[in-house]
Amino acid sequence: MSEQKRKVVVVTGASSGFGKATAIKFAQQGWYVIALARREERLQELLQTIGEEQCEIMVFDVCCQTHIDSLVKRLKEKALHVNLLVNNAGLALGLESADKASYDDWETMVDTNIKGLIYMTRAILPSMVEAKNGHIINLGSIAGTYAYPGGNAYGGTKAFVSQFSLNLRADLAGTGVRVTNIEPGLAETEFSLVRFHGNKEKADKVYENVQALTAEDIAESIFWSANQPPHVNVNRIELMPTCQAFSPLSITQ
């Protein structure tokens, strides 16, 4: 069977968490997976798990235009049409209040969560529009809707993802290309380990004694969105663990 007889999904940030679970889920369901991330060892492990028949990997930084260009070149050379792009790579760094936050952390979040996501989208979209077939699924967050102390720039990047997703819908009306924003709440992945710059004790505390969402829960919602009939566009899915809810608005004197 030629690769294109199977649907093709590109997953950014496939080396852990949601991206890894999504790559596995789609491969199990017969899709051909192109898995991208910076950590090669993790990608090799994923390749072993899924199998080379079903998956290819690429060491890839969404902030690097050369990497994006070489992906597009590789797709063209292999005559692969991308049916689905999952813009999942992203991160939160730090939880300090805005007056104490690190400039470097803010810059990395903007570069990855915003610029990486829009440049990936820009690179893949023309082939989808031409084929009148495609789907962009972005990973937003509840942090893009609900503010919390220390969320500052991270929440801002995810609000961008939410609005960018809606604006893509406006541009793509009539093309057959679909756009979905998945907006999860607390989910146990490497997210907190990254947010706290590798402090495992601090990261583990976030998930202590609570039943957070799992990476597989999110992969399931991505898979469900992608498998609606072509006339159905899921604009957004917001999901939280049952243990999480909204805090009251604060009033200080």
CB 177 to ligand 8X3: min, Å: 26
194 lies in the binding site for ligand NDP (CB under 6 A): yes
- Asked if 180 and 237 count as a contact pair (C-beta separation under 8 A), the reply is yes
Residue 61 touches which member of ligand 8X3, ligand NDP, none, C-beta under 5-8 Å by kind? ligand NDP
Name residues contacting ligand 8X3, limited to 164-223 (CB under 6 A): 185-186
Phi-psi region of 17 (alpha: psi -120 to 50; beta: other; left: phi over 0): left
CB 208 to ligand 8X3: min, Å: 15
134 pairs with which residues across the strands?
A: 177
For residue 52, what are its two tokens? 């080379």
19 lies in the binding site for ligand NDP (CB under 6 A): yes
Q: Which string of DSSP letters, residue by residue, matches 210-221?
A: S--B-HHHHHHH
162 lies in the binding site for ligand NDP (CB under 6 A): no
**For residue 14, what are the contacts with CB-CB under 8 A and spacing of at least 6?**
20, 22, 23, 33, 35, 36, 37, 43, 46, 57, 88
* Binding-site member from 90, 134, 151, 155 for ligand NDP (CB under 6 A): 90
112 lies in the binding site for ligand NDP (CB under 6 A): yes
Tell me how many degrees the CA angle 101-103-109 measures, rounded to the nearest 5: 90
CB nearer to ligand NDP: pick between 139 and 153: 139
The span of 14-22, 72-80, 138-146, 220-228 binding ligand 8X3 (CB under 6 A) equals 138-146
Among residues 103, 146, 148, 154, which one is catalytic?
154
Contacts 24+ apart (CB under 8 A), 57-63: 57/14, 58/34, 60/12, 60/36, 61/116, 62/12, 62/13, 62/36, 62/89, 62/112, 62/116, 62/117, 62/119, 62/120, 63/111, 63/112, 63/115, 63/116
122 lies in the binding site for ligand NDP (CB under 6 A): no
The span of 45-53, 74-82, 139-147, 162-170 binding ligand 8X3 (CB under 6 A) equals 139-147
Q: Any catalytic annotation for residue 146?
A: no
* Binding-site member from 22, 83, 180, 189 for ligand NDP (CB under 6 A): 189
150 lies in the binding site for ligand 8X3 (CB under 6 A): no
- Applying CB under 6 A, the residues found at the interface with ligand 8X3 are 141-143, 151, 185-186
- Which residues participate in catalysis according to the annotation? 154
